[in-house]
Amino acid sequence: MIEHNLLSASKLYTNISFDELGTLLGIPPHKAEKIASRMIYEDRMRGSIDQVEAVIHFEDDTVELQQWDQQIVGLCQALNDVLDSMAKKGLSIPV
């Protein structure tokens, strides 16, 4: 649950201090840093850690999200094309 919430925070924040992250997650700041560090190391979250400033900087993944969005749009268009073709042929469209 903590890791899920940390991933959610990475989508909402550009950067956050470990004190604030710990408060957000309901855990001590040092534990928030440890979990974030492990997730970055394991490539489960994109970001970097500034230990001097005690801040995590999250990397933006909007390019990947835009590509995913375009794939969904393409799939929906293909589905609409199939349904339109079925309707033109007089085939019943299951609901």
Does 67 score more than 90 pLDDT?
Answer: no
Cβ burial of 32 (10 Å; 0-12, 13-18, 19+) is: buried
Please, are residues 5 and 24 in contact by the beta-carbon 8 Å criterion? yes
pTM here?
A: 0.62
Question: Looking at residues 40-47, what average pLDDT do you find?
Answer: 92
Maximum CA extent, the chain: 68
Query: Given the DSSP bridges, would you call strands 15-17 and 55-58 parallel, antiparallel or unpaired?
Result: antiparallel
Question: Looking at residues 43-71, what average pLDDT do you find?
Answer: 86
Amino acid 33: pLDDT: 94
DSSP 8-state assignment for residue 14: S
Q: Which band of pLDDT confidence, cut at 50, 70 and 90, is reported for residue 34?
A: very high
The DSSP bridge partners found for residue 47 are 58
Please, are residues 6 and 36 in contact by the beta-carbon 8 Å criterion? yes
**How far apart are alpha carbons 80 and 61 in whole angstroms?**
29
